[in-house]
Structure 1
């Protein structure tokens, strides 16, 4: 008899993370999921701008140097600078008011880093869903829906605007837009709220990379898309909404749609 997938949800960083393990030993899955969850909680304690006692908050107030902070703080801030250069300024962790905000990278980075704990469960296949971002591993391919950009909250049960296949050439997809947090992406050039696209999705092999590039394209617009394609990523941008509630979208030639 085929064992049913183990599916559970943990909460961290003010959002749910859905975990699905197939072929895992239940005795090994429970501690693996607990370690995954703990890694996400720790990432929030490290990077949250909403917590006065996070390491990043202490650093921004001048109370903690990078040498005194956990090494991961420097790692992520240096990665933000790398993405700023790679995206031609489309990704920029420094806000208009000068505050450093690595949010556009942290979720993908945290999930990619925490996922190493899921390997301890020795699952045949696994998947993590993180509020629009998905990471998969193993031999199975999965069909993943790209949510309607006008649907806020949990999109389960609502119509999707596209379906893609993850597994094989693409193991990660990240989506950036204003459905969950309105007007949270700024244009680094103007310093104002970005209005280039309703939604941006990027598919690749690394969730942190896909997350950063989705943020960069949403913030920087069409000029950043070509840079993403040069790096082997695939992109879908939602450019507008039609009168009947459907959407105009453009995707790169290798976008893994199955529709």
Structure 2
């Protein structure tokens, strides 16, 4: 069963291959993602994130979920030496680089809690996989070509893991280097595979923000494999990356 909804400003698909009826579980996962959109959106003035950023909520009044997201933002900011940042001078608080991966990973946990074991959640190209859709074969995740929007530059195979790509083909120069506040340069796309989407998504964004120095940095992170295209059109690939 494959279901698609527009949420968090992008199409999200949930493809379940278990024999049992997944309808209720899928509805619960989408309900969670819509809740996250309402509570964490930087575009909705009444969201918890916006209210906190305006000073209407004290830290002691924040939900456990937002505290967890902010702690993750702080973790990846420290890990990247400040290149990854949810708090840029002169700009509103923006934890979205963590929120999407965190929310989709939680949606996957909700599906598993309902007894589902074989599924794929694709949130605008950032993917969580569980199980094998066919015996001996993982889920196949296409990586969009950074300069040719109708083309796929690679296909990654994933089972019980996550794949995330950071690039600028959808929103232009929206990824900023937190150390300078300026748009990131040096890379065209960064794809990271990891055990969960929080790590894959956050590390891909951080590496992109770091520019060329992010290539070796992200490849050295535990449990990760990468496929990176730099501004010179050179491809950098981890030996352990599983392509098909």
Contact 1:19-1:128 at 8 Å conserved across structures: yes
Q: For 1:114 and 1:222, how far apart are their aligned partners in 2?
A: 33
Counterpart residue number, 2:199:
209
Secondary structure at the aligned position of 1:16 is classed as: strand
Matched, 1:16 2:2: no
The one-character-per-residue Cα deviations of 1:127-160 (angstroms, maximum 9, x if unpaired) are: 01111111100144122110112355xxxxx321
Matched, 1:146 2:143: yes
Q: For 1:103 and 1:185, how far apart are their aligned partners in 2?
A: 11
Contact 2:120-2:139 at 8 Å conserved across structures: no
Q: For 1:24 and 1:179, how far apart are their aligned partners in 2?
A: 37
Matched, 1:130 2:101: no
Contact 1:90-1:221 at 8 Å conserved across structures: no
In structure 1, list runs of 5 or more residues that go unmatched: 1-5, 153-157, 242-246
Q: For 2:166 and 2:221, how far apart are their aligned partners in 1?
A: 20
Give the alignment partner of residue 90 of structure 1, picking from 80, 83, 90: 83
Shift in Å at residue 124 of structure 1? 4.2
Give the alignment partner of residue 2 of structure 2, picking from 3, 7, 27: 7
Contact 1:39-1:114 at 8 Å conserved across structures: yes
Secondary structure at the aligned position of 1:20 is classed as: strand
Contact 1:24-1:121 at 8 Å conserved across structures: no
Q: For 2:59 and 2:228, how far apart are their aligned partners in 1?
A: 36
Shift in Å at residue 41 of structure 1? 1.0
Counterpart residue number, 2:214:
224
Secondary structure at the aligned position of 1:201 is classed as: strand
TM-aligned CA distance change 1:101 to 1:124, over 3 Å: closer
TM-score, reference length from structure 2: 0.91
In structure 2, list runs of 5 or more residues that go unmatched: none
Counterpart residue number, 2:30:
37
Q: How many residues align?
A: 239
Counterpart residue number, 1:3:
none
Contact 2:139-2:159 at 8 Å conserved across structures: yes
Matched, 1:250 2:241: no
Q: For 2:91 and 2:44, how far apart are their aligned partners in 1?
A: 18
Secondary structure at the aligned position of 1:230 is classed as: coil
Q: For 1:136 and 1:234, how far apart are their aligned partners in 2?
A: 16
TM-aligned CA distance change 1:148 to 1:67, over 3 Å: same
Secondary structure at the aligned position of 2:190 is classed as: strand
The one-character-per-residue Cα deviations of 1:7-42 (angstroms, maximum 9, x if unpaired) are: 11022111111110002422xx11111110111111
Shift in Å at residue 227 of structure 1? 3.4
